[in-house]
């Protein structure tokens, strides 16, 4: 037990931040071992950013404790931050400073930043550091924030919705950068409200709702419980295999309207694909439900009041 605790990159015990009127984060017990990529999933206002700001010592807990590499996140915050790379949810504004100046400014405050590593990340994202911050698009601002979080090769990365504003190409580059950091021994705590995103990169996922951690799942478990909404349009001359579809594993809520079939698919698509095999399909659209719909399907609970910590 003692060895396990020493190895934990992040450990929280009954961590609570109560904003009143049911808003905040309540009794969070979490343990994340080193070199794990942990996805922190929850809808808007569920308490993800509150958790991250508590871990970073930006806000003080109402109760409980948070430890990073065995150090108290509030009392030993300077030592903690030496080992952490942080990407905040709201990208900070640097006005008319150039990107190169922002990097040098924060690098100067932090110390020990490898200029070659900075250059490598900037090249990877094709981020022009000679431009003024004010002139950056929102995607480029996010890239700069990612660079600031990764530039000192931290042992722990705490990232609050890091891909917001990035196009799919740069999202892929970011996932690769995250993988490289993990291969170099870093631990990653990564918040998101997109289910498919955490599937891409995470080893484990914590699901947060209304300020409470409702589930910590391994990736394969998450894949098993995930839901997709599917719409299939069959060719005019093809028979709709309604019977096969109804009996297919994982297929639920089936409805047929002419040549169009709508259903939800739990977990693997194998059952659905077997059912429509050999039938001519004109169009097939699979959409990921929102987290709220996922919660409704998975937990069977109505949407709670929106939280804005």
Partner 1 sequence: MGLRLGRWGIAGFSMVAFVSTFVQTTGFYQIAGHTPAERAALGASMSALAAQFVALFPPPIRPDTVGGYVEFRAFHSLAIIFAVWALASATGFARGDEERGIVEAALASGTSRGALTASRTIAFAIAAGVASAVAAAGFVAGVASGHETVAAGGVVEAGALLAALTVSCYALSLLVAQLAAARAATAAASALLLGLFLVNSLSRVFASLSTWRWASPFRYYELSQPLPPGGNFDPRSFLVLIGISILAAAAAGWAFTRRDLGEPLVHVPPLPYRSSHDAARTPVWRIAVVRSLYVSRLGLLAWSVGMAVMAAVFVSLTRTIVQVLLSIPTLLPYLSIFVHQRLYPAVLGYTWFNVAQLMLAAFAITYVARWSAEDTDGRLEIFLSTPQSRAGIVVERMAVLAAGAVLIAGSRWCSPASDRCWRRGTHEPRSGCWAASPSPATSTQSSPRSTSCRCGCRTCRRSSFSAPRC
Positions that interact with partner 1 (CB under 8 A): 56-58, 77-79, 81-82, 84, 86, 88, 90-98, 100-101, 103-111, 113, 115, 118-119, 122-123, 127-131, 134, 148
Of residues 146 and 272, the one with the C-beta less far from partner 1? 146
Could you tell me if 91 and 162 are in contact, meaning their C-beta atoms sit under 8 angstroms apart?
A: no
Of residues 115 and 172, the one with the C-beta less far from partner 1? 115
Q: Which DSSP category does 122 fall into?
A: H
Q: Which candidate, 87, 32, 39, places its Cα nearest to that of 201?
A: 39
Dist. CA 168–CA 31, nearest whole Å: 31
Q: Minimum Å distance from CB 94 to partner 1?
A: 7
Q: Minimum Å distance from CB 282 to partner 1?
A: 38
Of residues 70 and 92, the one with the C-beta less far from partner 1? 92
Q: Minimum Å distance from CB 62 to partner 1?
A: 19
Q: Minimum Å distance from CB 183 to partner 1?
A: 23
- In the sheet that holds 260-266, the strands lie side by side as 251-257, 260-266, 227-234, 281-287
Q: Between the CA atoms of 99, 101, 105 and 110, what dihedral angle is there, to the nearest 10 degrees?
A: 60
Of residues 148 and 275, the one with the C-beta less far from partner 1? 148
Q: Which DSSP category does 164 fall into?
A: T
Q: Minimum Å distance from CB 91 to partner 1?
A: 7
Percentages helix, strand, coil for the chain (3-state, rounded to 5) are 35, 30, 35
Of residues 110 and 259, the one with the C-beta less far from partner 1? 110
Q: Minimum Å distance from CB 28 to partner 1?
A: 21
CA distances in angstroms from 183 to 39, 107, 117, 178, 179, listed in the order given = 17, 23, 16, 9, 6
Of residues 128 and 288, the one with the C-beta less far from partner 1? 128
């Amino acid at each position: 037990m003692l060895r396990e605790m020493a190895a934990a990159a992040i450990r929280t015990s009954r961590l609570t931040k109560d904003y009143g009127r049911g808003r905040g984060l309540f009794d969070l017990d979490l343990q994340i071992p080193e070199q794990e990529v942990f996805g922190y999933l929850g809808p808007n206002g569920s308490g993800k950013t509150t958790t991250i700001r508590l871990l970073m010592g930006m806000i003080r807990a109402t109760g409980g404790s948070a430890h990073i590499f065995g150090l108290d996140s509030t009392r030993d915050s300077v030592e903690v931050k030496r080992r952490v790379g942080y990407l905040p949810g709201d990208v900070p504004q640097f006005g008319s400073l150039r990107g190169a100046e922002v990097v040098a400014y924060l690098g100067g405050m932090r110390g020990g930043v490898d200029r070659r590593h900075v250059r490598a990340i900037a090249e990877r994202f094709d981020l022009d550091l000679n431009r003024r911050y004010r002139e950056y698009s929102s995607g480029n601002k996010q890239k700069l924030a990612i660079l600031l979080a990764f530039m000192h090769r931290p042992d722990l990365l705490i990232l609050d919705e890091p891909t917001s504003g990035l196009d799919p190409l740069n999202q892929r580059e970011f996932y690769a950068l995250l993988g490289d950091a993990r291969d170099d021994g870093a631990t990653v705590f990564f918040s998101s409200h997109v289910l498919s995103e955490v599937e891409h990169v995470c080893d484990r996922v914590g699901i947060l709702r209304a300020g409470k951690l409702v589930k910590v799942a391994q990736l394969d478990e998450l894949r098993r419980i995930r839901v997709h909404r599917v719409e299939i349009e069959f060719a005019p001359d093809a028979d709709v295999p309604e019977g096969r579809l109804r009996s297919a594993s994982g297929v639920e809520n089936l409805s047929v309207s002419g040549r169009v079939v709508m259903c939800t698919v739990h977990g693997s698509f194998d059952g659905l694909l077997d059912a429509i095999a050999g039938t001519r399909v004109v169009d097939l659209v699979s959409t990921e439900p929102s987290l709220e719909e996922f919660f409704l399907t998975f937990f069977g609970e109505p949407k709670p009041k929106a939280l804005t910590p």
